Chains A and B, each alone.
Chain A
Amino acid sequence: MTLLELSHVSQAFFTDRKRTRAMVALHDVSLSIEEGEFVSLLGPSGCGKTVTLSLMAGFLQPTEGQVTFKGHPIAKPDPHRGVVFQEYSLMPWLTVRQNLLFALRSSAKALGHPFEKTSAIRRADEALAQVGLAHAADRRPNTLSGGMRQRVAIARLLAMDSDVFLMDEPFSALDEQTRSELDRSLFELWRRDRKTIVFVTHNISEAVAMSSRIVLFSSSPGRIIDQWRLDEDFDRTPGSPAARALADQIRALLPSTFDSNDELEGATIT
Chain B
Amino acid sequence: MPDRPVHRSADERALAQALAEAPANASVIPVRSLHGRHGLKVASQVLLGLAIGLLIWEVFALVLNSNGSPLGFPYPLETFERLGEYLFAGRSLYGHSIYEHLLASIQHLLVAFALAMVVGIVLGSVLGYFGRIYAIGMVPVSIYQMIPGLAWLPVAILMFGLGDDSAVFIIFAVSSMVITIGVSSGIRMVPPVLVQAAKMMGASGAAIFCRVLVPQASASIVNALRLGMSSAWRVLIAAEMIVGTGVGLGYSIQLTRDLLDYMGSFACITIICLVGLLIDRVVLAWAERAMRQRLGLEEA
Contact = CB atoms under 8 A, between A and B. Distances in A.
A109 interface: yes
Contacts of B204: 109-110
Contacts of A109: 202-204, 207
A237 interface: no
Contacts of A1: none
Contacts of B296: 92-94, 140-142
B198 interface: yes
A223 interface: no
Contacts of A2: none
Closest 9 CB pairs of A and B: A110-B202, A93-B295, A106-B201, A140-B296, A89-B197, A106-B203, A92-B296, A77-B199, A79-B202
A59 B201 contact: no
B136 interface: no
Nearest to B198: A106
B191 interface: yes
A94 B200 CA distance: 18
A90 B295 CA distance: 12
A194 B231 CA distance: 60
Given A85-B196, A91-B194, A110 B297 contact: no
A127 to B, nearest CB: 14
B298 interface: yes
Given A94-B296, A106-B202, A107-B201, 19 more contacts: A76-B199, A78-B200, A83-B196, A85-B193, A87-B193, A88-B193, A90-B197, A91-B215, A91-B216, A103-B201, A106-B198, A107-B202, A110-B201, A110-B203, A111-B202, A140-B296, A140-B300, A141-B296, A142-B297
A143 interface: yes
Contacts of A143: 300
The secondary-structure label for the interface of chain B is helix
A167 interface: no
A86 to B, nearest CB: 8
Contacts of B194: 89, 91
Contacts of B203: 106, 109-110
Contacts of B199: 59, 76-77
Interface of A: 57, 59, 76-79, 81-83, 85, 87-94, 102-103, 106-107, 109-111, 140-143, 156, 160
B215 A89 contact: no
Contacts of A102: 201, 211
B219 to A, nearest CB: 10
Interface in B138-161: none
Nearest to A110: B202
A92 B197 contact: no
Nearest to A93: B295
A90 B201 CA distance: 12
Nearest to A153: B197
Contacts of A89: 193-194, 196-197
Contacts of B201: 79, 102-103, 106-107, 110, 156, 160
Interface of B: 191, 193-194, 196-204, 207, 211-212, 215-216, 294-300
B202 A85 contact: no
Contacts of B299: 142
B300 A83 contact: no
Contact of B300 (A90, A91, A142): A142
A128 B204 CA distance: 25
A85 B300 CA distance: 23
B215 A57 contact: no
B297 A92 contact: yes
A93 B193 contact: no
A126 B212 CA distance: 25
A106 B299 CA distance: 27
Given A91-B194, A93-B294, A102-B211, A79 B216 contact: no
Contacts of B191: 87
A19 to B, nearest CB: 15
Contacts of A81: 200
Nearest to B215: A93
Contacts of A59: 196, 199
29 contacts: A59-B196, A59-B199, A77-B202, A83-B196, A83-B200, A85-B196, A85-B197, A88-B193, A89-B196, A89-B197, A90-B197, A91-B212, A91-B215, A91-B216, A92-B216, A93-B297, A103-B201, A106-B198, A106-B203, A107-B201, A107-B202, A109-B202, A109-B207, A110-B204, A141-B296, A142-B297, A142-B300, A143-B300, A156-B201
Contacts of A76: 199
A57 B196 CA distance: 10
Nearest to B295: A93
Contacts of A78: 200, 202
A140 B292 CA distance: 13
Nearest to A107: B202
Nearest to B212: A91
Contacts of A91: 194, 197, 212, 215-216
Contacts of B198: 106
